[in-house]
Amino acid sequence: MPCRRISSNHRPRPQALIIRKWWLTWCLLTTILVAMGFSLVIATCLASAAGGSYVLFSMEDRAGDDYGGGSITYPLHEVFEPGLFDLRRVHVWHDDHNIYFDISFTRVTNPWNAPEGFFHQLIDIYIDAEPGGHTQPVAPGPGVQFSAEAGWEYRLRIQPWGDSQWLDGRSNPGKVHAIKVLALPDGKTIRAGVPLTMTGPPNRGWRYYVLVGGFDVFGPDHYRPIKETATQWSFGGEAWPGGPSVIDILDPGPQRRSQKVQLAIRDSSSDAMPVLLPVGPGLSLPFTWKHLLASLAVLCVLASIFLLLSRLSPPGHVG
């Protein structure tokens, strides 16, 4: 019985294998791009479209860095509970009437019943909204200065016992507006509301300097003093006489932009203050069940698209 020869047409051709590999790679890349698009849309919807509100900026800050440049310790009185000055998150959003600044800490207490619902925190938010601007704070209390490449135009001061205010520094003298602030029921967040009539149209391109100090009505610019050694009412760990009075700042990460690096002493024999760098623009949303469901939906869409595309024949190739 004669042997049947296997036709060479049934053997995989190297060129066909190459085409197939490139086709699968293209399918995978297309699927990833589509998935990224879906993720962006879903994240934007979750972040911006709840109840007519729109997120301008949202960023977390690392836990346990309420020590300034690395050496600051809390005052010794029992009311200064751990975590009071540990900035955890800054969330900026607006509706049709106001911009809201939600500043979250490890904890917020009110031992002397301030009308705003908090007592300890003093918060300064300097906003770089346009080219130019100021590189020095309103008053020397915080003991820092700002990057020459990101001068500020607006300052938001948040403090207890009244006098929280929005300052428009684009003119000389600046325009000062009183604002309302309050502690939210979560026991961790302080909210300031600024009418849009004061701020003008908000912009997601704004950049922010967020400074946290201890409130002291008798301190320089209401910043609680920092001494070499902590006392009942003063912080300890002073970097140098007249150094920064900032306990925590919002910083985006390690290396040159870390809080320790920004607040480091450059030259102890000089009067120059540490130069801070702004954060933003951008979003760093907290993880919730909504995010999990959205992620699963995106993965299902990604898998479906990849399977569909991979089953198709490459363009110009049959069989």
Question: How high is the pLDDT of residue 281?
Answer: 83
What band does 288 get if pLDDT is binned at 50, 70 and 90? very low
CA 170, CA 127: separation in Å to the nearest integer? Answer: 11
What band does 53 get if pLDDT is binned at 50, 70 and 90? confident
Other beta carbons within 10 Å of 267? 7
Type of residue found at 157: R
Q: Is 247 exposed, middle or buried (0-12, 13-18, 19+ CB in 10 A)?
A: buried
Task: State the DSSP H helix or E strand holding residue 189, giving kind and residue range, or none if neither.
Answer: strand 189-195
Question: How high is the pLDDT of residue 204?
Answer: 93
Give the residue-averaged pLDDT of 70-75. Answer: 96
Structural contact between residues 158 and 223, judged by C-beta atoms closer than 8 angstroms: no
Give tens-digit pLDDT for 145-169.
999 999 999 999 999 999 999 999 9
Question: Per the structure block, which two tokens stand in for 156?
Answer: 């938001």
pTM of this prediction?
A: 0.76
Residue 207: pLDDT over 80: yes
Q: Which domains does the chain have, with CATH numbers?
A: 54-276 (2.60.40.1190)
Mean pLDDT of the chain: 83
CA 139, CA 123: separation in Å to the nearest integer? Answer: 14
Give the residue-averaged pLDDT of 207-217. Answer: 97
Structural contact between residues 84 and 107, judged by C-beta atoms closer than 8 angstroms: yes
